[in-house]
Amino acid sequence: MGITTRQYIYAICLLMFISCGTQDKNEINIKSIEVGLVNKIETQVFNYSDYIDSVKYISLETTDKSLIGYIIDVKLVNDKLFVADKQSVFVFDLDGHLYSKIAAYGRGPGEYLSVSGMDVNISNNEINVYDVTNRVMLVYSLDGSFLRKVAIEGLPRDFAVLSNGDYLFYTPDFMEGTYHGVWQTDKNGQFLKQHIKMDSKIRFITLSSNYFVHVNDSVVGLVGPQGYDYVLHFTENGYKKAYNISVDMDIPKNILEKDSDDWERVPGQVYSKTYMETDNYLYMVVSDIGYKQVFVHYDKVNDINYQRTMLVNSDTMDPFIPGNKVPYYFAEQWAGYGVIIGTISSTTITSNPYYKEGFPHIDENSNPVIGIYYFK
């Protein structure tokens, strides 16, 4: 699937362990997905063509108006690509033509000091830009017109917009006097419900590189850090535990209760997770922060758990996918609404004859190529 070794090694922060709030009646007999991070789990042969319906590559037009900086997020919503860098949000059609642009960096009305996060309301195409500096959400129409500003309490690491306009916010940081865990507000930022609360006993956890994932139009998924090993499904009306992630590594208590952000001292003793999910498929990478990564492909329809292992230092992977190969490598990737989206930089394309043959029109000054994997 084109995944870098470094992509799944995450920073360890001085944070707190998440514990569950009110239990959901649907938690009974939830599916457990076993992950062999210590002991290898033997699995069957896996072919991507069993799950990927098609792959589309889009060359984004490159003009002075559409030139993109470092990409922090990409979403595909209602046949439009929303690409955010640190100062702007670009909207492209699926032919790569620029449709609109939000470039509102500044201190005036409708302006922001940072693009710290971005999400799109699938029901009305409203673009939500989170400015962590000012702790506000700025909302724009599809054509880039400013609509409203929403004050945000707390210091969320990520957010998602539900189809009714409500916001979900998430941070695993334990901070006195502010929200932490997962909480929900209405579209005006008014607090509605605290879904997940923090447990102050556990001090040392890892962060994943991705958080909320739009599983479909109505469900938002989230995987917790180690010690809170569940995939959670959120809707407008609440949440449930959808899957238990059972990792065969016990993190020592003295590490979990330690105030430290020096993760280099504990490789092989803690783990981090990143995941994506569609209606029929769950994909996850579990890393022990230094030595090993386990790539988990869970077929939800047929209840089959495929896994392969990579040793980080040797860059060798268990032979696991002898069938269909994904044609191009993605340096970065995002997930949501049944697709995985990846980027291929112009530097990668121009420096490699294999890529250059596939994208002969790309030069070193071009915008990246966007790849979309559509799942069955």
Residue 319: is its pLDDT beyond 50? Answer: no
pLDDT exceeds 90 at position 186:
yes
229, 245 Cβ separation under 8 angstroms:
yes
Q: Are strands 281-287 and 272-277 parallel, antiparallel or unpaired?
A: antiparallel
**CA 34 to chain CA mean position, Å:** 21
pLDDT tops 60 at residue 18 = no
Closest CA to 284 of 221, 241, 368: 221
- Tell me the two tokens of residue 327: 């044609």
Confidence tier at 168 by pLDDT (50, 70, 90): very high
When pLDDT is averaged across residues 351-375 and rounded to a whole number, the result is 91
Confidence tier at 175 by pLDDT (50, 70, 90): low
* Contact (Cβ atoms closer than 8 angstroms) between residue 332 and residue 351: no
**pLDDT confidence bin for 329, thresholds 50/70/90:** low
For residue 7, pLDDT beyond 60: no
d(CA 174, CA 132): 17
CA 135 to CA 145: how far, in whole Å?
Answer: 20
CA 82 to chain centre: 15
Gap between the Cα atoms of 2 and 308, Å rounded: 14
| Per-residue DSSP letter, 105 | B
Residue type, 215: V
Query: Is the CB of residue 158 less than 8 Å from the CB of residue 170?
Result: yes
What type of residue is 178?
A: T
> Taking a C-beta distance cutoff of 8 angstroms, is the pair 375, 51 a contact?
yes
**pLDDT, tens only, 137-159:** 999 999 999 999 999 988 888 99
Instruction: Tell me the average pLDDT across 244-249.
Output: 92
- Answer yes or no: are the C-beta atoms of 222 and 241 closer than 8 Å: no
Confidence of residue 330 (pLDDT cuts 50, 70, 90): confident
Task: Indicate if the pLDDT at residue 348 is higher than 60.
Answer: yes
Nearest-5° Cα angle at 237, 233 to 239: 25
Q: Encode pLDDT of 62-95 as tens digits.
A: 999 999 999 999 999 999 999 999 999 999 999 9
Q: In angstroms, rounded to a whole number, what is the distance separating the alpha carbons of residues 265 and 256?
A: 13
- DSSP run (H or E) holding 253: helix 253-256
Give the pLDDT confidence score for residue 3 in this predicted structure.
38
Across residues 105-114, what is the average pLDDT?
Answer: 91
pLDDT averaged over every residue in the chain: 82
Question: β-pairing, 238-247 with 272-277?
Answer: unpaired
**Region 4-21: what's the mean pLDDT?**
31
- Assess whether pLDDT exceeds 60 at residue 13: no
CA separation for the pair 336, 277 (Å, rounded):
7
Residue-range domains of the chain with CATH: 6-19+30-375 (2.120.10.30)
Q: Could you tell me the strand order of the sheet in which 136-140 lies?
A: 117-120, 127-131, 136-140, 146-151
CA 113 to chain CA mean position, Å? 23
Band of pLDDT at residue 281, cut at 50, 70 and 90: very high
Task: Let me know the angle formed at the C-alpha of 147 by 153 and 100, rounded to the nearest 5 degrees.
Answer: 115
pLDDT of 176 reads 63
The span from the CA of 39 to the CA of 302, in Å, is: 24
Average pLDDT, integer, range 92-105: 96
